[in-house]
Structure 1
Amino acid sequence: MADDHSADEPLLLNLTDAESANPPRTAFASAFVKWVLGIAMWLVLGFWVALMFTFPSDAGTEFLESWTRATIGSVYGTTGSMFLVCSGPILVIVVLAIASLMVDGKKELQLKTTSKYPRIRLRTFPILVDGPFGVVSAAEFIGICLFVVFVLWALYAYTMQNLEVLSELSLSSEGKWILMMILTGLRFGTIGIYCLAFLFLPISRGSVLLSIRDVPFEQATRYHVWLGHLTMFFSTFHGLCFVIAWALEGQLLDEILEWADEGVAILPGVISLLAGLLMWVTTLPPVRQKKFELFFYTHQLYVVFVIFLALHVGDFIFCIAAGGIFLFVIDRFLRFCQSQRTVGIISATCLPCGSVELVFSKPANLQYTALSFIFIQIRELSGLQWHPFSVSSSPLAGRKHISVLIKVLGEWTSKLKSKVSHMSGPEGENELHSQSRSKITASVEGPYGHEIPYHLTYVL
Structure 2
Amino acid sequence: MDAVQVVKSSSPPSHEGIHIVRAAIRLLAIFVVFPGTLLIWLMMPTNTYRQIWLPQIRLKASSSTYLGAEGGTILVYTFPILFIAVLGCVYLHLGKKLNNHELKSSSSSSSGTKKNRFAVWKQPMLVKGPLGIVSGIELAFFVMFITLLVWSLSTYLHNKFKNITTQSAAKHHEQVWESKLDSAALVLGLAGIVCLAFLFFPVARGSSVLALFGLSSEGSIKYHIWLGHLVLAFFTAHGLCYIIYWAATEQISQMVIWDKVGVSNVAGELALLSGLFMWATAIPRIRRKMFELFFYTHYLYILFMFFFILHVGIAYACIALPSFYLFLVDRYLRFLQSRTSTRLIFARVLPCETLELNLAKTPGNTLAG
CA apart distance, 1:51: 1.1
Aligned AA (2:259): A
Match of 1:39 among 5, 27, 35: 27
| Shift in Å, 1:309 | 0.2
- Which residue of the other structure, out of 59, 76, 82, is the alignment partner of 1:69? 59
- Show the counterpart of 1:138: 136
Relative to structure 1, is the Cα distance of residues 246 and 350 closer, same or farther in structure 2, using a 3 angstrom cutoff?
Answer: same
* Deviation at residue 352 of structure 1 after TM alignment: 4.5
Task: Check whether the contact 1:359–1:402 (CA below 8 A) recurs between aligned residues.
Answer: no
Q: Is residue 2:151 matched to residue 1:153? A: yes
Aligned residue identity for 2:19:
A
Cα deviation, 1:274-333, whole Å, max 9, x if unaligned, reads 111121222222221222122111111100100000000111111111111111111112
For 2:158 and 2:120, how far apart are their aligned partners in 1? Answer: 36
Alignment TM-score, normalising by the size of structure 2: 0.86
Instruction: Return the letter of the residue paired with 1:152.
Output: V
Q: In the alignment, which residue of structure 1 is the partner of 2:224?
A: 224
The alpha-carbon deviation at position 351 of structure 1 amounts to: 3.5
* C-alpha contact 1:202 1:223 (8 A) present in aligned 2: yes
Runs of 4+ in 1 over 6 A off after TM superposition: 109-113, 115-118
Q: Is residue 245 of structure 1 aligned with residue 245 of structure 2?
A: yes
The equivalent position to 1:30 in structure 2, one of 8, 18, 42, is 18
Matched, 1:364 2:363: yes
Q: Which has the higher strand share?
A: 1
Judging by fraction of residues, say which structure has more helix. Answer: 2
Deviations 1:23-65 (A, max 9, x none): 4x52211111110111011121111112111101112213112
**2:257 and 2:92 mapped to 1: Cα distance?**
49
Q: Distance in 2 between matches of 1:88 and 1:44?
A: 10
Q: CA offsets per residue over residues 98-154 of structure 1, 9 Å max, x none?
A: 1111212246476998x9999564533333221111112222222111111112111
Partner of 1:294: 293
Q: Secondary structure at the match of 1:201?
A: coil
Give the share of equivalent positions with the same residue, in percent: 34
CA RMSD across the alignment = 2.7
Normalised by the size of structure 1, how large is the TM-score?
A: 0.70
The code of the aligned residue for 1:297 comes to Y
Q: 1:171 and 2:169 equivalent?
A: yes
* C-alpha separation in 2, matches of 1:110 and 1:306: 46
CA contact (8 A) 2:33 2:84 kept: yes
- Aligned equivalent of 2:344: 345
Asked if 1:261 corresponds to 2:291, the answer is no
Code of the aligned partner of 1:64: L
By how many angstroms is 1:182 displaced? 1.2
Q: Is the 8 A contact 1:256 1:266 kept in 2?
A: yes
Deviation at 1:174, TM superposition (A): 5.1
1:61-460 alignment to 2 at 5 Å? 61-62=50-51, 63-75=53-65, 76-106=67-97, 108=99, 119=116, 121-167=119-165, 169-172=167-170, 175-252=175-252, 254-366=253-365, 402-404=367-369
Describe the SS at the equivalent of 2:14: helix
Q: 1:184-230 CA distances to partner (integer Å, 9 max, x unpaired)?
A: 11111112112211111110122122333454432121121122122
Q: Distance in 2 between matches of 1:290 and 1:328?
A: 27
